[in-house]
Structure 1
Amino acid sequence: FALNVKGAYAAIQAVLPSMKSQQGGSVVLIASDQAIIGKPNSFAYNLTKHALASMAKTTALDYAAFNIRANAVCPGTIETPLFHNAIDAYCQRSGANKAEIVAEEAALQPLGRLGQPEEIAALVNFLISPEASFITGSLQSIDGGYTTQ
């Protein structure tokens, strides 16, 4: 909670004064597919990601008059070092085969693969760009279709 929610809150509060004075800006919070759906054994994590979604929506409403946009990116399963560390730990505990577990995770995604960090970066880059000037208060799923199931 301290990192996911309080950290984002502090960052937003730090940038809003300058955004207000320049009459514009874009805030992009990194939430999760768990801002949209629940998953088992994720109570605290899920709670923080829903809080980030709410923070994006309320910031969008509260600061639209200053031409400040706020959105949340909601990644699904992304192939990062954290993903691999979690799979490695699971495999050590269970004796499972890592390649099989990674393949199973990919198969859970309607697009049949894991997302890549560069795809998340590209979405963030778009959301802060002038091309996204009419997007605010949104939760942008980037999860290979997982939350649409």
Structure 2
Amino acid sequence: MNHNAIATLENRHVLITGASQGIGLEVARLALAAGARVTLLARDGQRLQQAAQTFSADAQRVYTVQADVTDENAIARGFAAAREHAGSINVLVNNAGQARSERFDRMDAQFWNQMMQVNLTGTYLCINAALPDMLEQGWGRIVNVASVAGLKGYGYVTAYCAAKHGVVGLTRALALELAGKNITVNAVCPGYTETPLLVGAVANMVEKTGMTPDKAKAALASNNPQGRLVQPQEVAHAVLWLCLPQSSSINGQAVPVDGGEKMAG
């Protein structure tokens, strides 16, 4: 390890939710490369083990926790286990999320609550579990993976949009509360990104419109002025940047990673 490297997280413990695939897995890859100890947290135990196996060369710095971010007790237990294994939590990346689309007048309260629980309440519960460590250490980084849907509106995903707007609001308010404590809170807001989450969106479009999967993908990519889908690694690099000690002046920001979509909108 080059101790003079700019992008270093050596001696830091990074906990990532939704870490078994997509953006979370790419963040884990970059955090390990930057020298961190990494806890991968996800709901699906089998997928979690498969993800961990991809880091066999760094196995001694990787720990897995199976937990659902909507379950307060499971999160408390999971974070305690991570702490026991890898020490106090220095960096929290809230990446777990779920996107479902439905016309507003066809949504029920259960649908609404599910989107809120996974995307917004889960973010709150994880911050609540990690923050005591950061306050005790006098240093910390919280990065919430929100969405461009946290910065603008999209039809047919009102519950998801509302939840992600909530994540951005939480980010901004908490950043001010913690500004004097050497803890930063930021959000990264990806546009349509080529992840397993997108596969669900494409399948939904195919089912509802009769489009081919390729056409549906192209329709989503057309939101991006660059005319393409964002790649998970691109989002992960933005997340890592916000986690670094050198990023201490970046606080309360919602950084779009969207090829210019939000600007264009």
Say if 2:160 is the partner of 1:24. no
Say if 2:161 is the partner of 1:46. yes
Q: Secondary structure at the match of 1:115?
A: coil
Determine the structure 2 residue equivalent to 1:91: 206
Aligned-pair distance for 1:18?
A: 1.0
Aligned-pair distance for 1:103?
A: 2.2
- Please state which structure has a larger fraction of its residues in helix: 1
Instruction: Judge conservation of contact 2:226–2:260 (CA < 8 Å) in 1.
Output: yes
Aligned-pair distance for 1:55?
A: 0.9
Determine the structure 2 residue equivalent to 1:66: 181
Counterparts of 1:58 and 1:93 in 2: how far apart (Å)? Answer: 38
Matches within 5 A, 1:1-149: 1-149=116-264
Count of matched residue positions in the alignment of Structure 1 and Structure 2: 149
Q: Deviations over 1:37-86 (max 9, x none)?
A: 01112221111111111111111110111100000111110011221232
Counterparts of 2:211 and 2:157 in 1: how far apart (Å)? Answer: 22
For residue 128 of structure 2, what is the amino acid of its counterpart? Q
Aligned-pair distance for 1:95?
A: 2.6
Root-mean-square deviation (CA), in Å? 1.3
- Flag the structure with larger Rg: 2
For residue 123 of structure 1, what is the amino acid of its counterpart? A
For residue 248 of structure 2, what is the amino acid of its counterpart? S
> TM-score normalised to the size of structure 1?
0.93
Determine the structure 1 residue equivalent to 2:34: none
After TM superposition, where is structure 1 displaced by more than 3 Å over at least 4 residues in a row? Answer: none
Determine the structure 1 residue equivalent to 2:68: none
Relative to structure 1, is the Cα distance of residues 16 and 139 closer, same or farther in structure 2, using a 3 angstrom cutoff? same
Q: Secondary structure at the match of 1:135?
A: coil
- Identity over aligned pairs, percent: 36
Counterparts of 2:215 and 2:157 in 1: how far apart (Å)? Answer: 23
Q: Secondary structure at the match of 1:13?
A: helix
Instruction: Judge conservation of contact 2:205–2:216 (CA < 8 Å) in 1.
Output: no
Q: Which moved more, 1:50-59 or 1:88-97?
A: 88-97
Aligned-pair distance for 1:88?
A: 2.5
Larger RCO: Structure 1 or Structure 2 (Cα < 8 Å, ≥ 6 residues apart)? 1
Gaps of 5+ in 1: none
